[in-house]
Amino acid sequence: MRLTGAQIIVESLLREGVEVIFGFPGGVILPVYDVLYESPLKHILVRHEQAAAHAADGYARATGKVGVCLVTSGPGATNVVTGVATAYMDSIPIVVITGQVPTAMIGNDSFQEADIVGITRPCTKHNYLVKDVKDLAVTLKEAFHIASTGRPGPVLVDVPKDVILAEATYHYPDKVYIRSYNPTYNGHPGQILKAAKALVKAKRPVIYAGGGVIHSGASPELLKLAKLTHAPVTTTLMGLGCFPQDSPLSLGMLGMHGAWYTNTAVSSSDLILAVGARFDDRVTGKVEEFAPGASIIHIDIDPSAISKNVRVDIPVVGDAKNVLAKLIEALEGLPERPNLKERKEWLKQIQQWKKMYPLTYERSGTVIKPQYVVEEISRLTAGEAIITTEVGQTQMWVAQFFQFTRPRSFLSSGGLGTMGYGFPAAIGAQVAFPDRLVIDIAGDGSFQMNIQELATVVHYNLPVKVAIINNRYLGMIRQWQELFFGGRYSYSEIAGTPDFVKLAEAYGAVGLRATRPEEVVPVLKKAFSIKGPVVIDFHVDPEECVFPMVPAGASIKEMILEKPSREIKRAIRAVK
Amino acid sequence: MRHTISVLVENRFGVLSRVSGLFSGRGFNIESLSVGETQEPTISRMTIVVEGDDLIVEQIKKQLNKLIDVIKVIDLTGEEFVERELILAKVNAEPGVRAEVLRIADIFRAKVVDVTPKTYTLECTGDESKVTAFLELLKPYGIQEVVRTGKVAIARGRKAAPKVEKQPPKKLPGKVVGFRE
């Protein structure tokens, strides 16, 4: 049967099992929208293309399926770039279909033309310019295959208008084979055995788990391994939720805003088992002083992640789930067992550290502390909600004070650190799970970066809740300026912020506000009981900072634990 | 350290910019780059010469391998390999020195490919040291222009490049299906 390119796109998405796409129409992509008009494929109309990419990304993170977004050429395509880069940095499988000007006009500075394949080359896992309609179906199949296998990532398919309009006989392959692309799923048995032996021998092991554990669905294996070896588990920001934080073996998040006891445990360990994590600079601090006494086992599906930042002693290339399962098998097969007494001592030591400097903040009866809002949301939702965040202080407070117990319940832009990510990502998650509570915990600065999506949640009556931690500042910027720039608050105070309650109402959503600590819980309860979008404006302590904190580039042992006095601040500046 | 990296890639548009982008994105200058079809027309070979510390080159090789269109990355550095470059040099050859220029060309087994009353254009092939020596000797006469192909390299011995599977034709025997009404 002969189909047009537009029909091939929609039909291929359906064959791929795609249920919903996020997009925004425009000139050259219109023929595809014309096919969508009568298609069972659901389309969510966002109000800015960046949000389409983030929503597809949020959908992918929440479900584990490939998120799809559809936009037009030129500005439509360039607007998705931030979303694509966000997905790339966090290894999220999305397929982005962009329209392009007709093949004959490419390179002529035509109306709404942008070389999106060139622009996104460094921030996609792969991208395509389809020049012949006969290649369209197989290209889409390849795009889904590449996005979702190996280390996942965004794939962009650019389709010129003449290809969209041309006809071809439609073949949709069941499988594709790409000779140059064969991700390694199974770890090398010799390396796994080496890792098992090192794990048995270690006195003070720490497991350091990242987003890769979530991508490969390796949480059960991780839990089993931790219990089997009595090893404490710390996670990266991207790994939050991959290990239950109510477990006594949980150390929470490590790195720049990790707890003191977590970073101290990492620094004092003699073996680090990294799985699906990439030793980001926000995790390691000063690389030379990262876990100086530890040997490092690194399990990752991407060979280029290994020994990139930190030298690795035992690399294992493979899928986290497969490798962890084999590692458990290998451990069970070994004649030796870890020295239980040593392990108990190690865990006891960590417990002591936890008591010495727990993650905490100064409580207040008069002003709302941001951490208190996060704690209460965590308590009231009891692990059932999907939490998205923006970027900055709120993101870190959520990472510190929210108790995550299951994977795919925390969606946040970790690698790129994209302000404006959380709200559209919440839309994606809510579309995937209409019955679950989805909450974007946002800063007043970040929220305003994609605030226009209030129209989208009202349009589709998506019951997304936005909890704005409103401190009238770009909080993390203000914090850095306070600590490292002598309190010179250069352009971090944001005047002109709208009345969020009125704004929500203007869009047709519900707006609520809390200005005193005792209002927090009732307002949250009320918000959660409303079956529609709600914006909650929490007026919080504007000067609250995220602690502990490792200054950028310092060793993770050098933590600032609490708001320093003026003298200490001066000393910090002198060191810089 | 200087690395000579041989990269087998799919012979299609856009691949060169993906490869070169890995270098330029890190602020690396490629010293020499040559691309050509292999015995298998769907595959091209790039020979890249790059200077950089081993850790960074190691990372670039991993990143190259990660590119979907890259089939194989071979670092010839540290192995036995033959390296050649072809240059064309337009050299001043005034009547008094013509014979001398020709003699130098002869010593280096260079060919005269174009002659004018005042210049010779010489073609010379060789590894880096030979080509450099050749140009050094010609310098006193005045080199007007040099064009070089960039290096190509091949491993010594019987070992052939790794076998690459044939990519099945794009049109896979998939089901022919109708459009959903």
Report the DSSP beta bridge partners of residue B154: B82
Q: Does B163 touch chain A (CB under 8 A)?
A: no
B171:A171 CB<8 A: yes
What are the backbone dihedrals phi and psi of residue B178, each rounded to the nearest 5 degrees, phi first?
-90, 160
Which of A149, A158, A169, A180 to mutate to probe the B interface, most B CBs <10 Å?
A180
In terms of CATH architecture, what is A189-356? 3-Layer(aba) Sandwich (3.40)
Domain boundaries, chain A: 2-169, 189-356, 370-539
Residue type at position B177: V
Instruction: Describe the strand order of the beta sheet including B70-75 as a list of residue ranges.
Output: B30-37, B43-51, B2-10, B70-75
Burial level of B138, CB count in 10 A (0-12/13-18/19+)?
buried
Q: Which residues of chain B does A179 touch, with a Cβ-Cβ cutoff of 8 Å?
A: 71, 164-167
Tell me if residue A485 falls in helix, strand or coil.
coil
Interface pTM (ipTM) of the complex? 0.86
Asked if A483 contacts A560 with a C-beta cutoff of 8 angstroms, the reply is yes
Q: Does B62 touch chain A (CB under 8 A)?
A: yes
- Residue range(s) occupied by CATH 3.30.70.1150 in chain B: 82-153
CA distance B24 to chain A (A): 11
Q: Is A112 a catalytic residue?
A: yes
Residue type at position A551: P
In terms of CATH architecture, what is A370-539? 3-Layer(aba) Sandwich (3.40)
Tell me if residue A172 falls in helix, strand or coil.
strand
Asked if B122 contacts B148 with a C-beta cutoff of 8 angstroms, the reply is no
Cα B61 to chain centroid distance, Å, stands at 17
Provide the pairing of β-strand A410-411 with A386-389.
Answer: parallel
Provide the pairing of β-strand A155-160 with A126-129.
Answer: parallel
Q: Residue A117, CB half-sphere, CA atoms under 13 Å: how many?
A: 20
Give the pLDDT confidence score for residue B174 in this predicted structure: 45
Fold of B82-153: Alpha-Beta Plaits (3.30.70)
Give the pLDDT confidence score for residue B27 in this predicted structure: 81
Q: Residue A503, CB half-sphere, CA atoms under 13 Å: how many?
A: 19
Taking the CA atoms of A304, A305, A309 and A314 in sequence, report the sign of the dihedral they define: negative
* Predicted confidence pLDDT, tens digits, chain B (181 residues): 889 999 999 999 999 999 999 888 888 889 999 999 999 999 999 999 998 888 888 888 999 999 999 999 999 988 889 999 999 999 999 999 999 999 999 999 999 999 999 999 999 999 999 999 999 999 999 999 999 999 999 988 876 666 777 766 555 444 444 444 3
Q: Is A476 a catalytic residue?
A: yes
Give the homologous superfamily in CATH for domain A2-169. Answer: Thiamin diphosphate (ThDP)-binding fold, Pyr/PP domains (3.40.50.970)
Q: Which of A39, A138, A308 sits opposite B172 (nearest CB)?
A: A138
Q: What is the block-wise mean pLDDT of chain A (576 residues), using blocks of 10 residues?
A: 94 96 97 96 98 98 98 98 98 98 96 97 96 96 97 98 97 92 95 96 96 97 97 96 95 94 95 96 90 95 91 96 97 93 95 92 95 97 94 97 95 97 98 98 97 98 98 95 92 94 97 97 98 97 93 86 72 62
The verdict on domain B2-78 having CATH code 3.30.70.260 is: yes
Q: Which residues of chain B does A180 touch, with a Cβ-Cβ cutoff of 8 Å?
A: 9-10, 68-71
Nearest by Cα to A132 from A322, A262, A272, A5? A5
Q: Is A49 a catalytic residue?
A: yes
Asked if A356 contacts A349 with a C-beta cutoff of 8 angstroms, the reply is no
d(CA A265, CA A351): 10
Give the pLDDT confidence score for residue A560 in this predicted structure: 87
d(CA A439, CA A47): 20
